[in-house]
Amino acid sequence: MVSIAVRDASVDFPIFDAQTRSLKKAMLGVVGGRIGPNASKVVVVEALRGITLDLEHGARVGLIGSNGAGKSTLLRLLSGIYEPTGGTATVEGRVAPVFDLGVGMDPEISGYENILIRGLFLGMSRKQMDARVEDIAEFTELGDYLRLPLRTYSTGMRVRLALGVVTSIDPEILLLDEGIGAVDAAFLQKARGRLTDLVDRAGLLVFASHSDELLRELCDTGIWLEHGQVKMHGPLDEVLEEYKKRKPGPKRPPQGGRPR
Amino acid sequence: MAGTPRTLNTSRSWGLAFDDLSRAWRQRQLWGHLGWQDIKQRYRRSVLGPLWITISMAVTAIALGILYAGLFGNPLEEQLPYILVGFIVWAFIGGCITEGSMVFISNAGLIKHLPAPVSVHVYRLIWRQMLFFAHNLVVYAVMLVIFPQPLSLGSLVAVPAFALLVVNGFWVALLVGIVSTRFRDLPPVMQSLVQLLFFMTPIVWIYEDLLNSTNETIASRARLAELNPLLHYLEIVRRPMLGQSFELRNWVVVLAITVAGWALTLVVLRNYRARVSYWV
């Protein structure tokens, strides 16, 4: 059974500047008196607040929101990279994320090696990856480039590689960040088929994007995030329509508080 | 990433801490591959490749062996094996401490983008250090041919001794790694500390010679070296490798520190494991 259940979850980031991250400062804080009323306070950014979500098998959810609304943080919460600083998050099923493309790939080693390492990170065994590597090579159309170090690849080529890996390993929960827009239209057409297949078979897709077109292709429901909170959750078309009508407001500054 | 659901919340749980260690252990194909990759990567475009690890160890040990045999007036066949084995063991100990302080910081990209237990990075580091150690053992083997040591069946105690070193390297790297991620002053502190400890630990100077010194003051000062825990770590491995007798005292100290160190590390892992991805 594949499901995501998030209950009143929040994610707070402590922002350490050079001073607060230093051991000296912490030691002096213990030994000496307090330097000022705010000396021991660390700025905390509330990236997500009071998120409650229930996603079941078959859900294809698009995350909508302006830059800094918390889309990427929510994806990382769902993938288990960030554990909630408040509330709970229960994720059942094998997760495969495609976030910032290129990170998590070693630029000095070949495309083939990167396919293997990415697969191993996502819980595959070496044998399983060896069996899939030809299929991935064919899908990505990178040909002999796969023998070259990754640093020779363009952004679009890296996206192809990352998509090739996640779509081949049959994940149950697929988390995609906006970066996949970097591939050309022809490849996207091909990838779309594989992604929709995957979601039909596997179960759950959460996709963050600014492109209405891409969202409509892949998703049926939408979640509108604003200032780290769920503003609206419903059928994609309705959410997109409401989102367009919003008034662009000023950005909320980070909250002050204690780190946890 | 197994099929079992995991509920993540704010409570600091022992279950999740042990879960981290055991899930990472199951991913040994991953860190095994990455550990090898690290070594191949370092020598990628060089002709001799990882053989450089072996060569540089040999050169250092031979040069210092000759230098200190001359300075201390010791016979070369005694001084050189002592320095060589000391260096090989120290390379492992020092590597675990200094690289441990960077273990999460240098993997920030991976930690933020691919979900994996944090201890995967520690397993990778320890495995890499074990591979370095194996490369250095080649120098030891060659040395045994040139300067035979009085090895016996009892010398095999070096194997469990090294295993104990690995177990300790793991908690040190994990503990120092987590604390360094929060307090960024620690990596340079660790670097200086390791260098200092190198001089305070009998690696180039022969501890027993000083203990038996005719000069009373020197002999009593040398006894202070016993307070250095790393002396005991070094001795449990070096003594059998040089065919010297078994000293229970060294083992008792090492075992006691192993238990205390792991206890402390598990508490830190339980409380701060989930914060690592926020701190990097």
Cβ distance of A90 and B110 shorter than 8 Å:
no
The reported pLDDT for the residue numbered B119 is: 96
The reported pLDDT for the residue numbered A35 is: 47
Residue B207 near residue B222, CB atoms below 8 Å: yes
Residue B9: which of A87, A104, A123 has the nearest Cβ? A87
Residue of B nearest to A166 (CA): B114
The answer to whether residue A89 neighbours chain B at the CB level (below 8 Å) is yes
Cβ-based contacts of A173 with chain B (< 8 Å):
none
Q: Is A185 exposed, middle or buried (0-12, 13-18, 19+ CB in 10 A)?
A: exposed
The reported pLDDT for the residue numbered A252 is: 53
**Mean pLDDT in consecutive groups of 10 residues from the start of chain B, 280 residues:** 62 87 94 92 84 92 93 92 96 96 92 90 97 95 94 93 97 97 94 95 90 86 90 96 93 97 96 92
Question: Which DSSP string corresponds to B44-96?
Answer: TT-SSTTHHHHHHHHHHHHHHHHHHHHHHT--HHHHHHHHHHHHHHHHHHHHH
> Between A and B, how many CB-CB pairs are < 8 A?
111
- Give me the helix-helix angle, A185-201 and A155-168, nearest 10°: 20
Q: CA triplet B91, B164, B54: central angle to 5 degrees?
A: 25
State both tokens at B152.
């016996």
Please give, rounded to a whole number of angstroms, the shortest distance from the CA of B38 to a CA of chain A. 11
The residue behind tokens 């040591």 is: B149
Cβ distance of A84 and B10 shorter than 8 Å:
yes
The reported pLDDT for the residue numbered B10 is: 67
Stretch 157-216 of chain A: residues touching chain B, C-beta under 8 Å: none
Please give, rounded to a whole number of angstroms, the shortest distance from the CA of A250 to a CA of chain B. 26
What is the model's pTM? 0.89
The reported pLDDT for the residue numbered B212 is: 85
Cβ distance of A82 and B182 shorter than 8 Å:
no
The reported pLDDT for the residue numbered A236 is: 92
Residue B142 to residue A197: CA distance in whole angstroms: 59
Residue B34: which of A79, A86, A117 has the nearest Cβ? A117
Interface test with B, best of A23, A85, A88 (most B CBs within 10 A): A23
Question: Which DSSP string corresponds to A42-76?
Answer: EEEEEEEEEEEEEEETT-EEEEE--TTSSHHHHHH
Residue B149 near residue B81, CB atoms below 8 Å: yes
The answer to whether residue A103 neighbours chain B at the CB level (below 8 Å) is yes
Indicate the DSSP class of residue A252.
P
The answer to whether residue A125 neighbours chain B at the CB level (below 8 Å) is yes
* pLDDT tens-digit profile, chain A (260 residues): 788 999 999 998 888 875 656 666 666 555 544 444 444 567 788 899 999 999 988 889 999 998 888 998 999 999 999 999 989 999 998 888 887 665 567 778 888 988 998 899 888 899 999 999 988 999 888 888 899 988 888 888 888 888 888 888 888 898 988 777 677 778 888 888 888 887 777 678 999 988 888 888 888 899 999 999 999 999 999 999 999 887 665 555 555 444 44
The reported pLDDT for the residue numbered B179 is: 96
The answer to whether residue A23 neighbours chain B at the CB level (below 8 Å) is yes
Cβ distance of A88 and B189 shorter than 8 Å:
no
Residue B44 to residue A117: CA distance in whole angstroms: 18
Residue B277: which of A82, A106, A121 has the nearest Cβ? A82
Residue B234 near residue B161, CB atoms below 8 Å: no
Cβ distance of A80 and B278 shorter than 8 Å:
no
Cβ distance of B113 and A100 shorter than 8 Å:
yes
Q: Residues A134, A135, A138, A139: is their CA dihedral positive or negative?
A: negative
Cβ-based contacts of A130 with chain B (< 8 Å):
none
Interface test with A, best of B123, B183, B271, B277 (most A CBs within 10 A): B183
Residue B265 to residue B178: CA distance in whole angstroms: 9
Domains of chain A: 58-86+94-247 (3.40.50.300)
